[in-house]
Amino acid sequence: MAAISVDWVAGGWQAAGNERRWWQRLTGPGAYRGWVMRGLLCAGLLLAGLVQADEPQVVNINSADATTLAQVLDGVGLSRAQAIIDYRDRHGDFRDAYELANIKGIGERTVEQNEHRILLAD
């Protein structure tokens, strides 16, 4: 990496030669817009992480309502969540997460994708 030479110019230190363009991009007029946008982007990403942290990451399929099932389980909407509740009401509590594959519209792949989110007891 080449050293940046600086000169005393108009009462202040300033980069000389080709380095001047690089220095002006960092400190020149309009440079603050880039830094502000970067700051706003970082703040937005941090806030998005905080919002997601409040959502439940696991769900008890033997006691949860349809809305909670649909929010937590990937690939399961409100209609599939209601089908889970209907199956549970007809057949009793689930003894294994893979029993979900017996429900029309929910396959083994969906169960595998959500296995870490599924609880059978509190």
Do the Cβ atoms of 19 and 5 come closer than 8 Å?
Answer: yes
The residue segments making up the domain with residue 10 are 6-53
Q: Are residues 68 and 106 in the same domain?
A: yes
**Per-residue pLDDT in tens (0 to 9) along the chain, 122 residues:** 555 555 555 555 555 555 556 666 666 666 666 677 778 887 887 777 655 555 558 999 999 999 999 999 999 999 999 999 999 999 999 999 999 999 999 999 999 999 999 999 87
- Run of H or E including 48: helix 31-53
* 1 found inside a domain: no
Comparing C-alpha atoms, which of 60, 102, 58, 113 is closest to residue 80?
Answer: 102
* 107 found inside a domain: yes
Q: How far is CA 19 from CA 7, 25, 67, in A?
A: 11, 10, 59
CATH number (domain holding residue 110): 1.10.150.280
Q: Are residues 67 and 89 in the same domain?
A: yes
Q: How many residues does the chain have?
A: 122
CA atoms 85, 88, 89, 91: torsion sign = positive
pTM of the model: 0.56
